[in-house]
Structure 1
Amino acid sequence: MQRCVNVIGVGMSPFSPASLSANPTALVGETVRQALADAGLSARDIGTVFAASGLMDGGTLQRALEQTGLGHVPLEQLPKGEESSTLLYHACQAIELGLTECVLVLGVQGAPAPLPDLGVMFERLGATARAYMARYQTRRETFAMIAVKARQHAELNPLAVFTSALTLDDVLDASTIAEPLTHPQFAWPTSGAAAVVLCSSELASRRGNRPVVRVIAQACVSPVQVSGFGPASAFACTGYEVNVAAARELYEQAGRGPQEIEVCELHDSSTLNELLLYEALGFCPEGSAEKLVEDGDNTYGGNLVVNPSGGLLSLGQAPAVSGLAQCIELVHQLRGNAGRRQVADARIALQHQTGADGTVVTTLYQRE
C-alpha cells in the first residue's frame, strides 16, 4: 500500500566554510528540536530516524539523538559520504510503503568534505563549457551571470556562507579554474546540519491547521539505468542524460509539466551544471539556456525562480546536508514564510540533487 508523504517540520543550522563548533552534538540537538517544534510533534511521535553524517560515527550520532529523546527510536544511518538526497528518497519510500508513519531525516556535515583530485574533473567541465559555447554561440558572460544571480539570492539568506554581492566583472576577473569558468562559478565544500520531519497524510490530518507540504512525485535514476540507450551527449560529464531521464520520470508520475513549476532548487555544483539543468529539466529547449538567463527567467520577476536560497554556489557543498537544505528552502517557499526570498504565490516546487555516483533524485512538492 502506497501512502502520500508530507513534509511537516524543518530545522537547519547556518552553513559554514569551516568545521562545526567544538560541540556538534549540541548543534544536532538544536536542529532536531527545531524540526520537531515546527512539526508540532514530540520525540515519541517519530517512528524512525534516517541519518547521513559526513563525520559523526554511529555512537556519536546516537548520543546526540539521546539528548533529544530519540535515543530509542530505530536509526537507519547511511554510510559516510552518502548524500542527503538519497536519504530523503529512502525516507519517503518507507512512508509510501507503509513501513512507518512518521520519520525524522537528519543530515550532519561536521567538516567540509575533502576534495578529491579535481584536475581531471575541472578539465572536463571546462571542455564541456567550451563545447556548449561553440555549439550555441553562448557567451562566457552567460555562465558568470548565474554566479551573480546566486549571490543576489544569497544576500537574502542568513544561513548561506557566501553572501557578498558579485558584479559581472568580479566573476569574470576572478581566478580561472577551468576556462571559461572562474572560482565563484563553483560550489566549494562547507559544513552544517539539517533535519526534516516527514509523515503520512493520516498523521498530517490529525495536526489540525498546521501547514502541510506534500510530496506529489519523486524519481531516483542512476547512470546505469540510462547507459546503453543511445550515444552519450557532448555534455555527458555533467550527467545530462540522467538528468533528462529523472525529469521525464518525475513529470510522468505527477501528470504535470515543467511550465507549472514556480520555484526550483537544483544542484548547481557549477554555473555550467546549472545552465545545462535548465534544459535537462525542461525549463527551456536545448540550446536556449542563454536566452533564459539573459531574460532573467531564472530569478525574481521571471517565469521561474531558481535556487532562491542561493544554491550550492552560495551555501556550498555539504553532501550529507545539501539535499535537506534544498527541501527546507522549498518548504518555506510553499508555506509562504520565506521572508524577503519569497516567490509570490508559489504552489509547486521542484528539487533536483545529484549524488557523487551520478545518481539523480528529483522531487515535486505542492502546497496543500
Structure 2
Amino acid sequence: MVVSKVYVIGVGMTKFEKPGRREGWDYPAMAEESGTKALDDAGITFEEIEQAHVGFVFGESASGQRAVYELGMTGIPITNVNNNCATGSTALYLAANAIRGGLADCTLALGFEKMRPGSLSATYEDREWPLKKHVQALAELRAPASPPAPWMYGVAGLEHNEKYGSTPEHFAKIAEKNHRHSANNPYAQFQDVYTVDDIMGAKMVYAEAGLTRLMCSPTSDGSGAAVLASARFVEEHDLGDRAIEIVGQAMVTDLRSTFDTGSAINLVGTDMSRKAAEKVYAQAGLTPDDVDVIELHDCFAPNELFTYEALGLAGEGEGHLLADSGDTTYGGRWVVNPSGGLISKGHPLGATGLAQCAELTWQLRGEAGARQVEGAAVALQHNIGLGGAVVVTAYQPAHRGGTP
C-alpha cells in the first residue's frame, strides 16, 4: 500500500478563555476565528478543503457542521469527533489519515469547546458512565474522592510517590515551569508566574495527594484548527518552505495492562502513551534524544511526570529526577510545554490537541516569538483522554527531508 506523506500547511487558534468570560462568544464564532486563521496561514481558501474533521466533547450532534459552515458550505464530508480529552488530536489523526490513504489532498482538522465552569462531571445519568470501569478499578486501590478527575490523577501521583520516592513538590515544580512558560503566550488563559511555594500553598483540590488548584488545568472556552495537505498539494502551491511534515503518528486505546497490573499509573493511560510513543519513534526513525520541543498533556501535573517516562525522556520511576534537573525548560535538554501546557494555557477539550499542533508548527517555523525554542527541528505532541485514547505525533519541517 502506498502511503502519502502528510504536511501541516496552516494553523490557527483563538485565545483560550475562562468559560463565559467573552459574552456571546459561541462555538461558531470560535470556529470561524481559528479556521480562518488556519486557512489564511496556509494561503488557501475553504473551497480547496476536501474533508473536515471537527472535534468537540460537549455539544449537540452536528455541531461540527454548524461550526464549519462559518467558513463555507461546499458539500464536503464533515465528521463530528468526540474522544474525550484526546478529541482535538483525534480530529487531526483522521484528517491526516484521509491524506495518507490517498482519499484527499487537503483536509481541515478543527476543534472547539464551550465549557461550563467547575469540575467535569457526567452529562447523562440514565446510562453507564464510560469511565465507570476505570473508577471501579481505582477505587479498589484507594477510596474515591471528589471531583473524580483530580482524584484519579492524584491516586496515580500517590502511587509514584510511594513506589519511586517522588513528592508533591515535584508536581509543583512541573506546574511552576508551565505557568512560567505561559507568561510569553498571548493565547494562554493565564499568564501569571508563581513560585513553587505559591503552588504548594494554593487551594487544595485533593489533599491526600497534595494536589492544588495551580497543579490542575482549568475549564476553558476556545478553538484550534490545522490545514493538512499531501506532498502533491504542497508542491503545486509552493509551500515547501513553510510546510511541517507529520513524520510519525499513532493512536492507541486502553490495553489489558491498563486494568490487569493493579497500577493507578496505568489506569490513567501511561501504558497507552508508552505504546503510542514507541510506534511513532519507529515510524519516524527518531529517538527521544532527537526531539527538541514537546507539547504534552499536563491536565494535572502528575500526568506530565508520568508522561516523561512514557515518552522515553526518563526511565521508569525517574520522572521526578527529570523535574529536578531543569532539563525540561529553556536551556535544558528539551523544552516541554513552551505554550504553558494545559495547566496554564487552558484546556477546552476539543481544541487542546489542535492548539498543541499549532504551537509546535510555530516552533518549527521559528515563529513562536518570545517562547521560541532555539534551533527547534524535531517536535513531539502527546494528547490523552481517559476512557481511553492517546495520540502521539512527531513533526519536522518539510525542507529537512527534501522537497515534498
Q: Same fold (TM over 0.5)?
A: yes
Residue in structure 1 matched with residue 254 of structure 2 by the alignment? 223
The equivalent position to 2:150 in structure 1, one of 122, 137, 142, is: 122
Residue in structure 2 matched with residue 163 of structure 1 by the alignment? 191
Q: CA deviation at 1:130?
A: 2.5
Residue in structure 1 matched with residue 11 of structure 2 by the alignment? 10
Deviations 1:121-145 (A, max 9, x none): 4334333322322322223221101
Matched, 1:238 2:233: no
In structure 1, the gaps of 5 or more residues are: none
Q: Is contact 2:58–2:113 with CA below 8 Å preserved after alignment?
A: yes
Take 2:257 and 2:165, find their aligned partners in 1: how far apart are those partners?
A: 29
Deviations 1:166-213 (A, max 9, x none): 111111111222222111111121110111100001101122254010
In structure 2, the gaps of 5 or more residues are: 123-145, 399-404
Matched, 1:97 2:94: no
SS for the counterpart of 2:308 is helix
Q: Is contact 1:63–1:71 with CA below 8 Å preserved after alignment?
A: no
The equivalent position to 2:321 in structure 1, one of 263, 277, 291, is: 291
Q: Which amino acid aligns with 1:18?
A: P
Q: What TM-score, normalized to structure 1?
A: 0.93
More divergent stretch after superposition (127-136 vs 113-122): 113-122
More divergent stretch after superposition (181-190 vs 80-89): 80-89
Return closer, same or farther for 1:41/1:338 CA change in 2, 3 Å cut-off: same
The equivalent position to 1:52 in structure 2, one of 52, 55, 75, is: 55
1:173-252 aligned at under 5 Å gives the runs: 173-178=201-206, 179-209=209-239, 210-224=241-255, 231-233=261-263, 235-252=265-282
1:79-158 aligned at under 5 Å gives the runs: 79=82, 83-112=87-116, 115-116=120-121, 118-158=146-186
Residue in structure 1 matched with residue 136 of structure 2 by the alignment? none
SS for the counterpart of 2:99 is helix
Residue in structure 1 matched with residue 31 of structure 2 by the alignment? 28
Q: Is contact 2:250–2:391 with CA below 8 Å preserved after alignment?
A: yes
Take 1:80 and 1:259, find their aligned partners in 2: how far apart are those partners?
A: 30
Return closer, same or farther for 1:73/1:212 CA change in 2, 3 Å cut-off: same
Q: Which amino acid aligns with 2:253?
A: S
Q: CA deviation at 1:236?
A: 2.1
Q: Is contact 1:190–1:315 with CA below 8 Å preserved after alignment?
A: no
Q: CA deviation at 1:64?
A: 4.7
The equivalent position to 2:80 in structure 1, one of 65, 77, 80, is: 77
Q: How large is the RMSD of aligned CA atoms in angstroms?
A: 2.2
Residue correspondences, number: 367
Return closer, same or farther for 1:120/1:60 CA change in 2, 3 Å cut-off: closer
Q: CA deviation at 1:44?
A: 1.5
Runs ≥4 residues deviating over 4 A:
54-61, 79-82, 225-228
Q: Is contact 1:49–1:76 with CA below 8 Å preserved after alignment?
A: yes
More divergent stretch after superposition (41-50 vs 301-310): 41-50
Aligned-residue sequence identity (percent) comes to 36
Take 1:355 and 1:69, find their aligned partners in 2: how far apart are those partners?
A: 30
Q: Is contact 2:269–2:386 with CA below 8 Å preserved after alignment?
A: no
Q: What TM-score, normalized to structure 2?
A: 0.85
Q: Is contact 1:278–1:289 with CA below 8 Å preserved after alignment?
A: yes
Deviations 1:94-151 (A, max 9, x none): 1100111101111121234861174444334333322322322223221101111011
Take 2:286 and 2:105, find their aligned partners in 1: how far apart are those partners?
A: 27
Residue in structure 2 matched with residue 332 of structure 1 by the alignment? 362
Q: Is contact 2:62–2:80 with CA below 8 Å preserved after alignment?
A: no
